[in-house]
Amino acid sequence: MSDLTGKVAIVTACSRGIGFAIVKKFVEDGATVYMAVRDSDKDINLTNKLHAENDHYRRVVYNAIDFSSYKPMVDEVVKDAGRIDVLVNNFGTTDIVHDLTLTTGDPEKFFAIIKENIGSVYYGARYVVEQMMKQKTGGSIVNISSVAGTTPDVSRLAYTTSKAAIDSLTRNIAVQYARQQIRCNAVLPGMVDTDAIKKLSKDFTETFLNNVPLGRFVEPEDIADAVAFLASDESRNITGELIPVCGGFGLPTPIYSDVISGKIKQN
């Protein structure tokens, strides 16, 4: 268990999946977490229910793709809690219909996805870093990127490009604010076992798993554990790192699955 006792954290886009697992882990480890969610009945009901059970769950309203909402979000947390120690930029989007290859994808969608994914990290980090510098107590920013940013794909050009840019942004923030003791790292999930996987074909998921050395999907809790470590003081000397949580996907030879299945003989 990472020790986040007394820390104030913001986690964006966190009403389900990876984000929700991060929120739960943070609260279990002692943090007060501001769940940055939309102004929707579903999200408000969820955060009200959680807060009633444990006041370490709190809500702050924002819109991930409305960049004008980021500063008011940060200001509201500071007004309520007095400081911010941790930011987790969890938002990410794509469009499986229009985010395709260079020649088959929609150019407008390409640039929209790029803007939304990079902007969500840029603006969240910008205003939180400004606050952390005022506090003079340092802090930790964790960006949720993807192994897609380091492994070229046969499609999803905008998504993969934006994640690669987020990796670079992570390292630049780490270097630019290290002297202020503000750390910035990224966690790179592989294929995570969420509702989205159920929409994929069985052939695809089986083939994918054959290329994962550990042979299993990543669970949201696996991501949450890594993020909690990076948010805690236990990782105080770790910054600018891109940490894959993907079961080893991308490490072996491209013929890995054929070799271990016996389709290809090595001798």
The pairing of beta strand 86-89 with beta strand 139-144: parallel
Among 127, 159, 177, 256, the one annotated catalytic? 159
Residue 108 in tokens: 């407008």
Closest CA to 144 of 175, 190, 100, 110: 190
For the sheet containing 57-61, what is the strand order? Answer: 57-61, 32-37, 8-12, 86-89, 139-144, 182-189, 242-245
70 is catalytic: no
DSSP 75-115: HHHHHHHS---EEEE------TTT---TTTS-HHHHHHHHH
User: Catalytic residue numbers?
Assistant: 159
